[in-house]
Amino acid sequence: MNRLVSVLLKPHWVFILPPLHLGGCIATAITGFEWLPVALSEFPAGILFTAIAWRFGHPMIWFGVFGTLWWCWLSRMFFEYLSRPD
């Protein structure tokens, strides 16, 4: 239990979120499921990505690449927030 608490208190765990998102995008593309859960996970950028993918197609590019970059930015901001001195 102490190990879990010490891991959660260190902010480096936030960088696992972009690879998890990319894995979800790849799994969605391979299985042919709808992209709605992926779009909801990227809110508010997912609305823009959905509109672009609807118009131009290729949702794996829009959600997989740009959505993962969105999660990289969010993770970096969350890391900075957790790392700030109190």
Give the containing element (helix H, strand E) for 31. helix 17-31
5 pLDDT exceeds 70?
Answer: no
Q: What is the pTM of this model?
A: 0.77
DSSP state of 60: I
Q: Is 19 helix (H, G, I), strand (E, B) or coil?
A: helix
Burial of 21 (0-12, 13-18, 19+ CB in 10 A): buried
50/72 Cα distance (integer angstroms): 19
Region 37-54 average pLDDT: 84
pLDDT at position 19 is: 93
Q: What is the pLDDT of residues 11-44, one digit of tens each?
A: 788 889 899 999 988 998 899 888 788 888 888 8
Q: Which tokens sit at 5?
A: 């608490």
